[in-house]
Amino acid sequence: MIQKPKEREKAIKLRKRGFSYSEILKEIPVAKSTLSLWLRSVGLSKRQKQRLTGKKLAAALRGARARKDQRLLITKEIKVKARGEIGKLSNRELWLIGVALYWAEGHKEKTHASPIKLGNSDPNLINIFLEWLQKVCKINRKDIKFRIYLHETSKNRLGEVKKYWARATKFPERDFQKISWKKHKINTRRKNIGENYYGLLDVSVKKSINLNRKVQGWIEGICKNCGVVQR
């Protein structure tokens, strides 16, 4: 092995100043194994160890941020491409989307008469449902009613919550006067809390018992035409 006394001496000095291996290798281009051999007996002070630990944490954070930025970029690219694949929806497509949405999230017709009703906290889902009611089911806006379900801990934000749902749905704020309060649970696992919590909005339609029955027929039609066997 070729001896490099000047390089070795410089490496030891840098190490004693608290430089990391990667920093030293930038100054002295040798094999990492050689550097490790040179520095194996070099001790570090507590402050130097803290500096190296800090640099490692900073490097880890930079790496984490870089990976996060990469994930966000990939996610954005996928979403943009996926949005373009949808295109403009036909009335039939909106009809089927609404039926499937009600099938998943709506109140079903039981043995007793039940009107159309759907509740959710996602304003986009609510707006698709409202569009479906008005365009497909030909429901008049005045026959659409709202009720907000809100936790008791958000009583001081009631005005803000009403304004939020009025803006989200483009219905007047006066249509959001019905409130049902949920009791607060100390050990709640809910994630939608704090300033981004606006409760759950329940949408119902007046005199819609027969429409609910019709929707159940549409659901059965989807099952039949998809080849799903019903017991």
pTM reported for the whole predicted model: 0.70
Residue 197 lies in a domain: yes
E strands present in the chain: 117-120, 144-151, 179-182, 200-205
In a domain, 99, yes or no: yes
Name the residue range of residue 211's domain.
Answer: 91-225
Determine the Cα–Cα distance for residues 14 and 47; give it in Å rounded to an integer: 14
| Of 7-11, 122-126, 224-228, highest mean pLDDT | 122-126
Identify whether 158 is part of a domain.
yes
What are the tens digits of pLDDT across the range 200-210?
Answer: 999 999 999 99
Q: Give pLDDT, residue 1.
A: 47
The verdict on residue 75 lying in a domain is no
Predicted confidence (pLDDT) per residue in 137-156, tens digit: 999 999 999 999 999 999 99
* Other beta carbons less than 10 A from residue 92's beta carbon: 9
In a domain? residue 67: no
Query: Within 2-45, where are the H helices?
Result: 5-16, 21-27, 32-39
Task: Indicate the number of domains in the chain.
Answer: 1
Q: Select from 225, 223, 231, 211 the least CA-distant residue to 100.
A: 223
Instruction: Classify residue 65: in a domain, yes or no.
Output: no
| Residue 28 φ then ψ, to 5° | -125, 100
What does the pLDDT look like over 1-57, one tens digit per residue?
456 788 888 888 888 777 888 888 888 888 888 888 888 777 665 666 667 777 777
Q: Indicate whether 186 belongs to any domain.
A: yes
Looking at 87-157, list the stretches that DSSP marks H as alpha helix, in order from N- to C-terminal side.
91-105, 123-135
Domain membership of residue 48 (yes or no) is no
Helices (H) and strands (E) in the chain, counts: 8, 4
